[in-house]
Structure 1
């Protein structure tokens, strides 16, 4: 006889409905979905990838375009700069092979699997946009390879049938309305006497749509770009330093060219007058604004940082950085304003901007700079380093696969027959 009180009671039992309810994951029952989403979007990428296995709801939510965009907005904010990932492109000393390195303090600098064909001697990079970089071959702008270094995923993009006779400059952009990555190829025709060309021809590829490449012409007057990729990307749109076609002076840029996604066209501004003489110029995402950085190479160099008001179409000098000494060339700056340079020995110097010690000189804010960290890249060729401040992102393009170590012999055998090689790409 069953013990008293242990018998089967009404409403209880092992019904299928009860079993299913008991096996469902419970995180969404504790907090509202929007609270969980807000918490997850602020976590480091490595942690988020681990949390995908908590339950199906989380895995599905983490893959949604809106969540990916929100997470990237947090990871790319200035508050997250200290944990940002810096991608360094360099050449190996003896072989001249291209090497890609990840520098993310306090972790050690590590070499990454390169998704770009190792048999090609030339390689350039455009980006990043939402955690994506585009590797390609200059000056043709082909062998386009989209790469998410944080996820170690890549995809080669089928090229258009256009065979440009001139140099190509590559840019990346992101359409926030369509949640889509865009690739631009600008056909750069150098100025020559008697040329009547007035419009810029370019191609654009929207990665979500299978329509392929679209060839367009700009509505603005012609400009000339002499670099293989865009100089900077700000708010997911590319910018170039360019020349006025009718007043072309090599090394003396006259315009800032910007591709505006909403109009699918270019706009440009005349650069500020910075005086005469030899100088160096660079574009950078400087403290959440587009900075035009200008300096002269001296024993103690100062960098003038200009910014443009894209609503008033006016330039203003934001600040002056310096003095900087002990370097031979400036590679650029990080989003928090830290300047990265290289010395005569090929060592990278990270100059921190000391905002708390600001000095006002001639109505200008002067921020002193000092070397915070150095980085020695062994077995790499000095003068070959290029840096990319690359916040980690979850964005994946359809067709991306995990990057594996390359088989050099396989690529060389494919290279022996150009048709097989291009088919493999």
Structure 2
């Protein structure tokens, strides 16, 4: 039976079950297939099918041992087999030794990296690892007398407009005495200002929104969380200064990408001085992870948020005890009751909560460079229009 003899419904049912790489190749078979595969309708139902059938992969970032440059690998979710050792990245991260990415949204990641100082927002790009398509986000231009002291990012989908957005909370210093450049001599005494900037994909532009932060982000760059139209950060209820971390000033700061409104929620009560804390998504719920201890002995507490219409409360789900001779970083979940850790020896380790045992993966990075997330591939494109490619074999 030839492909032209199949009904359209049957063709769709077959194509829905194929990976993105195969679908990209199959666009060359027939013009009708090309039009179908690149249509918003098929892109949407293919993504929904992948989510419902829970057939993801793992996206791993690490640094090359020799060049100390970040690179990405695609792993099998079930076996951790390396499917693609080094994904082709057609933009800037390969030039920098410091790069991270935000939590994936519909197969897209927002990648950012540090180029040099003084930085004016650094470099940002959107990337679909499955299709290889990428888009550099335009630089937010600032006057030469402005120095960006710190910034925090969020990325996700505006569920009302169906548009992708990047939100950036920038703290900057303006040297009013030097209009043509920034003078670092008085850097420590200059007042800081905070500004919230939103990038919208459909307009390919930034804008400053008029809002007041109810709390100030205080988190590691890897701790970038998105869930159901909302981005979240670990934050402090104080003014963002290095001091002031009291009993009640630790909160989660959330930003609704549709309404563009901030809210804050309490974190679990402090049970000690943690050397690292992060907010993550585990089993489609918000989780808060605390790491305690000294070199040679440590423990990790994992809390889950109970999100109701009345209030947000927390339940401690698990404590992990680690004896590895060096401090670990918590990277995220792997299946039911298993979690990835980046050990102080820069090896990707798995903790099995049911067996209360650790598993070696044989995967290494350098300088706590490991970052791994569950990744569901998609056909989502950044292009507004895609011209039909001329192929002699399309009929």
Work out whether the TM-score is over 0.5. Answer: yes
Q: Following superposition of structure 1 onto structure 2, how do residues 391-402 of structure 1 map, counting pairs within 5 Å?
A: 391-398=376-383
How far is 1:168 from its partner? 1.9
Residue number in structure 1 paired with 2:287: 291
After superposition, the CA RMSD in angstroms is 3.5
How far is 1:204 from its partner? 1.1
Residue number in structure 2 paired with 1:26: 5
Residue number in structure 1 paired with 2:320: 322
Match of 2:165 among 165, 173, 182: 182
Residue number in structure 1 paired with 2:390: none
- The answer (yes or no) to whether the contact 2:47–2:106 under 8 Å persists in 1 is yes
Match of 2:254 among 250, 253, 258: 258
- The answer (yes or no) to whether the contact 1:168–1:228 under 8 Å persists in 2 is no
Residue number in structure 2 paired with 1:64: 39
In the alignment, does 2:199 pair up with 1:205? yes
- The answer (yes or no) to whether the contact 2:172–2:192 under 8 Å persists in 1 is no
Structure 1: runs of 5 or more not aligned:
1-22, 355-367, 402-425
Residue number in structure 2 paired with 1:343: 343
Match of 1:215 among 208, 211, 220: 208
Q: Closer, same or farther in 2 for the Cα pair 1:347/1:223, shift >3 Å?
A: closer
Looking at structure 1, the residues matched to 218 and 53 of structure 2 have their Cα atoms a distance apart, in angstroms, of 30
- The answer (yes or no) to whether the contact 1:169–1:227 under 8 Å persists in 2 is no
- The answer (yes or no) to whether the contact 1:135–1:144 under 8 Å persists in 2 is yes
How far is 1:333 from its partner? 1.0
In the alignment, does 2:83 pair up with 1:128? no
Match of 2:226 among 233, 239, 249: 233
Match of 2:133 among 153, 158, 162: 153
Q: Following superposition of structure 1 onto structure 2, how do residues 42-57 of structure 1 map, counting pairs within 5 Å?
A: 42-57=17-32
- The answer (yes or no) to whether the contact 1:155–1:399 under 8 Å persists in 2 is no
Looking at structure 2, the residues matched to 255 and 133 of structure 1 have their Cα atoms a distance apart, in angstroms, of 25
Looking at structure 2, the residues matched to 320 and 24 of structure 1 have their Cα atoms a distance apart, in angstroms, of 52
Looking at structure 1, the residues matched to 254 and 334 of structure 2 have their Cα atoms a distance apart, in angstroms, of 19
Looking at structure 2, the residues matched to 66 and 394 of structure 1 have their Cα atoms a distance apart, in angstroms, of 11
Residue number in structure 2 paired with 1:169: 152
**How many residues are paired up?**
353
- The answer (yes or no) to whether the contact 1:97–1:121 under 8 Å persists in 2 is yes
Q: Closer, same or farther in 2 for the Cα pair 1:37/1:217, shift >3 Å?
A: farther
Looking at structure 1, the residues matched to 84 and 302 of structure 2 have their Cα atoms a distance apart, in angstroms, of 31
Looking at structure 1, the residues matched to 50 and 244 of structure 2 have their Cα atoms a distance apart, in angstroms, of 36
Residue number in structure 2 paired with 1:278: 274
Residue number in structure 1 paired with 2:358: 371
How far is 1:121 from its partner? 4.4
In the alignment, does 2:93 pair up with 1:110? no
Please list the CA deviations of residues 3-22 of structure 1 after superposition, one character each: whole Å capped at 9, or x if unmatched.
xxxxxxxxxxxxxxxxxxxx
Q: Closer, same or farther in 2 for the Cα pair 1:291/1:66, shift >3 Å?
A: farther
Which of the two has higher C-alpha Rg?
1
Looking at structure 1, the residues matched to 250 and 189 of structure 2 have their Cα atoms a distance apart, in angstroms, of 19
Q: Closer, same or farther in 2 for the Cα pair 1:43/1:250, shift >3 Å?
A: farther
How far is 1:388 from its partner? 3.0
Residue number in structure 2 paired with 1:389: 374
Q: Closer, same or farther in 2 for the Cα pair 1:143/1:277, shift >3 Å?
A: closer
- The answer (yes or no) to whether the contact 2:73–2:83 under 8 Å persists in 1 is no
Residue number in structure 1 paired with 2:177: none
How far is 1:258 from its partner? 1.2
Q: Secondary structure at the match of 2:104?
A: strand
Q: Closer, same or farther in 2 for the Cα pair 1:178/1:53, shift >3 Å?
A: farther
- The answer (yes or no) to whether the contact 1:286–1:335 under 8 Å persists in 2 is no
Match of 1:98 among 59, 70, 81: 70
Please list the CA deviations of residues 365-394 of structure 1 after superposition, one character each: whole Å capped at 9, or x if unmatched.
xxx5433451333xx524222223322121
Please list the CA deviations of residues 258-317 of structure 1 after superposition, one character each: whole Å capped at 9, or x if unmatched.
111221122111212132333532221111111112232363634332214153332120
In the alignment, does 2:57 pair up with 1:84? yes
Residue number in structure 2 paired with 1:365: none
- The answer (yes or no) to whether the contact 1:222–1:244 under 8 Å persists in 2 is yes
